[in-house]
Structures are given as structure tokens and as C-alpha cells.
Amino acid sequence: MSGDQERHELEPDVLAERAELVDAEHDLGEQELSVGARRAAEALTGVAPEPGVAKPDAILVADGVVRQFGGLTAVDVEHLEVQRGTITALIGPNGAGKSTFFNLVSGFDSPTRGKWSFNGTDITQLAAHKIARRGMVRTFQLTKALMRLTTLENVMLGATGQGGESLWRAPLRFLWRAQERDNVTRAEELLERFNLTHMRDEFAGTMSGGQRKLLEMARALMVQPDLVMLDEPMAGVNPALTQSLLGHIQALRDEGVTIVLVEHDMDVIMSISDWVICFAEGRVIAEGRPDDIRRDRAVIDAYLGARRSLKEDPQ
Amino acid sequence: MDLLSILSNSFRGALGPEAAIYALAAVGLNMHFGYTGLLNFGQVGFMLVGAYGTAVPVVAWGLPLWVGILIGIACAIVLALLLGVPTLRLRGDYLAIATIAAAEVLRYIYRSEWAEPLTGGVFGITQFANDFYDLNPYSSRLDLGWLSFSPTALWVMTVGWGATFLACGLVALLIHSPWGRVLRSVREDEQAARSLGKNIFSYKMQSLIIGGVLGALAGSLMAINTQALTPDVFMPILTFYLWTIMILGGASRIMGPVVGAIVFWFLLTFLDSFLRQIIGDGLIGLESSDVGAIRFAAVGLGLMLLMMFRPAGLLGNQKELRLDVR
Ligand SMILES: Nc1ncnc2c1ncn2[C@@H]1O[C@H](COP(=O)(O)OP(=O)(O)OP(=O)(O)O)[C@@H](O)[C@H]1O
Ligand SMILES: [Mg+2]
């Protein structure tokens, strides 16, 4: 403790600031729900915390989705609904099938059986790029930066409905110059938001692992999706930036975007999600508000572990 | 040893019709590999259908040459579709296998007895490009003293380099557009491009067609240049010269194939006349029949040195190459 004391004396400002920040975060978590959070909470009142429960306004509905790899059943979801305008977290042990479920619904993998719909239309057979165009965009657990494109180009790629992406219009610059300029403006805003402005004209391949996570998220948002699926967006991102990322994610929800994210950091999950779905061995074993999940027997057994839950839950 | 004549030969090789033709075909290959990441090991197949598409209609059906050139382009589009539709949805290596096989199969078909009424089989066909030479505006040799070109060579060079630079200009326009951005993203990571709503199959197909058509145009010019066409001109090794040219100049650089072709042909003709001279002077105990093999061995050695000291090619962005794949 005396060592800490000395350090404290050396840099009192920084430490005090940090302490304030922690307090502020705490307050943020407890009072003053944002518009989106309140809206989400209202929408989800009365929804029972049980696996496969129906939601009042579901943007994504999966039915009997099964994916087998040889003898292994990676995903076996009987029924799952994601409420529009919420931050829904998918949790579960490693190998529970969260990423595989992402791959299935986003069209990157085909199911053994089952179907799902997005915004009310069945998209089971739809190709991945068409699903993305309909407004459901995903990021990857292992980031996929486009190495030899600049950071700006990476983000620009996300823009939809680009006239200059057709072969016939491409050589005729005057046909798409104005649109390109608008897209650059929007891309620069996103870079700003994710602290990547200084990397604007660098190759994405020169980025650090954490920066790539940010880039991927910025790129996904460039699509202006209705639903974003983020596969461990916070992995490898430093704490300060995680805080601001969480802020961005909440701001997105407040704008009406639905967010599904996979995350292993329970503090993150508990602080931002409106609804939590727990996977284990491919199945949905529990669903509910963060507080329900924290106390759920099945989740504690399969994922949180008994000790961890004690520490998490003072009551 | 006559250094001036060696240099004169080398420059004639570097600027001559063949260099232009190879450059044009390599621009197409650069579209495939440099910008889209497609592994096309059968560019010579596109050249073959372009060349025969040009010559056969003239000889067999008496059509004008320009119609032949259009037919050559159409053949390349058909070939691109045949190759692309089954393989472009699969992993990249499938296209590589399909292209290398298709080019060889085509060569055997065109030289078969069965195709002889049209293609002349192994004997080939000649004298189909008179339309082209009738248009030749040059009437006298270009004579720079130490370097000279015949009027016909000049005419083919004008058209060949003209077409090559036009192709480079078109590629530059395309690549620096949103279309080109999608293409390059497909090269970097197909899944990422797909997750952002891009139809990667369609882009790969478009790239395969554009590059294939450029290959077919190069084939047309090759046929026109010699006025004689036999299938065995289109050996698989030709594709690998084109790869050498592209890598030498720098893949995914607009002017890479042009610089590559000039350097490749300069080295090749330089070594050829240099070796012939020293063999003629009795300075070295080799037969002149060895020259062909030795010059290619030397080009290979040169390429290895280049890869060691300038791995991204002469024009390449060395920084790009240092990006590690994480
Ligand atoms: N392509 C594949 N071939 C065979 N098995 C696979 C494949 N992809 C996933 N699996 C298996 O499916 C199961 C679920 O994997 P998945 O990647 O969905 O887990 P996850 O929940 O995302 O785990 P993590 O939290 O570690 O990311 C694992 O047992 C994995 O081994
Ligand atoms: Mg995963």
C-alpha cells in the first residue's frame, strides 16, 4: 500500500482523474439511463427470462437452426428472437457456437437445417452479400483488415449503393464524384469517432491488432445497418478505448440500431447490454436481463463459475 | 565483339512488336493477379482464342479482319465465362488448375486433325492480316543510324504500344474508382468484402473477362504480327513469361507490365546477341544452339536477384510488401 501511496504523490492528478472516471462510470451504470436504454427496457418489460422467449418487436428470428460439423453439433437453436433497438449480448463458454451462429445468420455458413428471418423476411437462402445489403452486417472474431488498402479506403468500402462500383460507370468519374465526396466525409467522421484519423492514409496492414478491431467496426457502421453483429469487438482494445467503444455502441443503440455482440468480459456485458443470451454446447441455455443472467443457475454452472458469480454479486 | 550491334538488337527487342504484345497480355494478367488476386496460369489460352478468333474467320469465311478481331474478343469472353462460372466460387487454386489445363486443352484442340479445316492443324494458317497492313501509313524505314525499324514493324509497334497504353489508361481509370476499390478488397479478403455487401463472384468474373479480353487482343496482334499462326506458339511457357514480366515490373502497378516487358525483352535479346557474338568469336566453348536455353537461365537468375533485392518488382511499392499477414 505504501508503494501505491508514493505513486499517488507523484502523479496525483492522473490518479485522481482516473478515480473520478471510475466513479463516473459507476454512476453511469446505475442512474440516468440513456434514451435507447430506457426504450429497450420498456420494450422488454414483461418478457420472461426463459430460453426462446418471444419478443414484442423482433428484428431477427431464428427457428430450429442446426449446424453440424461431422458428428459435432456446433449450433442447435430451437427458437431465438432479438428485440429491435436493443443491445443483445451473446455469452457462453469457448466453443459454445456463438461465432458459428453469427456465421449462419449472416450467410457465411449454411445450416444443416433451420431457418431465420430478418426484418420480417426469410433470409435463410440468401447470399451473404445480399444479407449485408439488407442491413445486417457482421464483424469477425479474427479481424479481416484489407491490408493493402488504406484505412480510409477500408471504411469507404462499406458505403452502400455506390454508383462507381458498377463497371460501366467506374471510368466516368463525373458520374460518381459527388457521391464519393459525401462518402469520404462520412468515412472521416467514423474514423474520427474511432480514433483512427491519424491512420487515414496508412495501409490497414500497418495497424495494430486493436486498431484493426476498431477499423472493422467503423467499416461495418459505414454500411448504415439496422443490425450489427459484433464478434468480440473489445478483444485486445485498451481499457480507455473500450470505454469509448462502449459509449459508441450505446450511442448507436440510441440512434435505433440493433446490436448483437459476443463478449467474454462480464463487466462489459453487465454494464451495456439490455438483454443477454447464454449459449452452451450450441444451445440457448438462458436468456434475460443482465440481472437475471447473473443469478441464473444454468449460466453460473456453464459459464460464469460459482466463485466468479459470488464476487460479481454482492447480494 | 560489336557492342553497338548488340545494343541495337537489344533495343529493337525491347521496343519491338513482341514486347508490345507481351506487355498487353501482361496488363491483362495484372488485372487478374495484381488487382484481383486471381491465379490465372493460362493467360496463353486467352491469347490463343484471340489469335485464332482473328485469323480463322478471315481465312475460312472471308470475313474482314476487324470482324475477326471482334470474334477473338467474343471467344475470350466465352472462355472467361467457361472458366469462371464453375471455379470462381471456390478457393483460388481451383481457377489456377482450370486455367492451366484449359490453355493446354485448347492448344490440342486447335492443332487436332479434327479442327484442321478451320485452324490448319499443326501446319497453321497464314496471310490473313492483309487488311491490317493495307492501312500502314509508314512507307519508309525509321532509321536512327544505330537502330532501325521496318515500316511493317513500325506499324505493328504503333498499334501494339498504342493498344497497351490505352489498356493501361483504362485499367488506371477502373482501379482508381470505387469499382477498383472493391476489386482490390476482393484481393485482400473476400470474406470481408462480402460482409460489406459486395458480390465478389461478379467482380471476379468481370476482372477475369477484362483481363482475358486484353490477352485475346494481344493474341490478335501476335497473329497479325507474324501473319502465320500455329498452335504451338501458345505453349504454357508463354504464360510464365507473362508472369515474369508482371513480377519484374511490379504486380498491381499500372505501368508494371510495360516496364516489365521492356526490361524482359531487352535482357533476352541482349543475352541472345551477346552470347552469339562471343560464341562466334570463339571466346567461349558453347554451341549456338545452347543460346536459347542459357538466356532463359540468365533471365531466371536475374529474376531471383530481383526478388532478393527488390521483392515488389521494379515499380512495386516496397512498403506494401512489408505488411505482414497477421
Ligand atoms: N469449420 C468448422 N469445422 C469443424 N468444427 C467447427 C468449425 N467451426 C466451428 N467448429 C466447432 O464448432 C464449435 C463452436 O465453435 P464457435 O467458433 O462457434 O465457438 P464460439 O462460441 O464462438 O467460441 P469462442 O468464444 O471461443 O469464440 C466448436 O466446438 C468448434 O470446434
Ligand atoms: Mg467465437
Contact B52, B229 (CB under 8 A): yes
Model confidence at B109: pLDDT above 60: yes
Model confidence at A306: pLDDT above 80: no
Q: Do B196 and A157 touch (CB under 8 A)?
A: yes
* Ligand 1 atom index nearest CA of A93: 25
The per-residue pLDDT of chain B, averaged, comes to 91
Model confidence at A164: pLDDT above 80: yes
Residues A215, A144: Cα–Cα separation, whole Å: 9
Query: Of A49, A41, A28, A26, whose CA–CA distance to A276 is shortest?
Result: A49
Q: Do A148 and B187 touch (CB under 8 A)?
A: yes
Query: Of A191, A256, A176, whose CA–CA distance to A222 is shortest?
Result: A191
Chain A residues inside the 8 Å CB shell of B77: none
Q: How many helices (H) and strands (E) does chain B have?
A: 16, 4
Q: Do A108 and B191 touch (CB under 8 A)?
A: yes
User: What pLDDT digit, counting tens, does each position of A252-296 carry?
Assistant: 999 999 999 998 888 888 888 999 999 998 999 989 998 888 887
Asked if B181 has any chain A CB less than 8 Å from its own CB, the reply is yes
Q: How many angstroms is it from A97 CA to the middle of ligand 1?
A: 5
Phi and psi, residue B156, nearest 5°: -65, -40
CB neighbour class for B143 (10 Å; exposed up to 12, middle 13-18, buried from 19): exposed
Q: Residue A6 is placed in which grid cell?
A: 508514493
Mean predicted confidence (pLDDT) in B90-101: 90
Q: How many CB atoms lie within 10 A of CB B126?
A: 15
| Reported CATH class of domain B3-321 | mainly alpha
Phi and psi, residue A203, nearest 5°: -65, 140
* Ligand 1 atom index nearest CA of A282: 14
ipTM: 0.87
* Ligand 1 atom index nearest CA of A102: 18
DSSP letters along B6-63, please?
HHHHHHHHHHSHHHHHHHHHHHHHIIIIIIH----S-HHHHHHHHHHHHHHHHHHH--
Homologous superfamily of A35-134+259-315 in CATH?
P-loop containing nucleotide triphosphate hydrolases (3.40.50.300)
- Closest chain A residue to B324 measured between Cα atoms? A205
Q: Which residues contact A62 (CB under 8 A, 6 or more apart)?
A: A77, A79, A80, A81, A101, A105, A114, A115, A116
User: What pLDDT digit, counting tens, does each position of B194-232 carry?
Assistant: 999 999 999 999 999 999 999 999 999 999 999 999 999
Helix axes B3-15, B17-29, angle to 10 degrees: 40
CA distance B320 to chain A (A): 6
> Which of 199-228 (B) contact A at CB < 8 A?
199-200, 206
Model confidence at A3: pLDDT above 50: no
The per-residue pLDDT of chain A, averaged, comes to 86
Task: Output A3 or B58, whichever has higher pLDDT.
Answer: B58
From A65, A66, A67, A72, mutation site for ligand 1 pocket: most ligand atoms within 8 A of C-beta: A72
Query: Of A136, A112, A140, whose CA–CA distance to A123 is shortest?
Result: A136
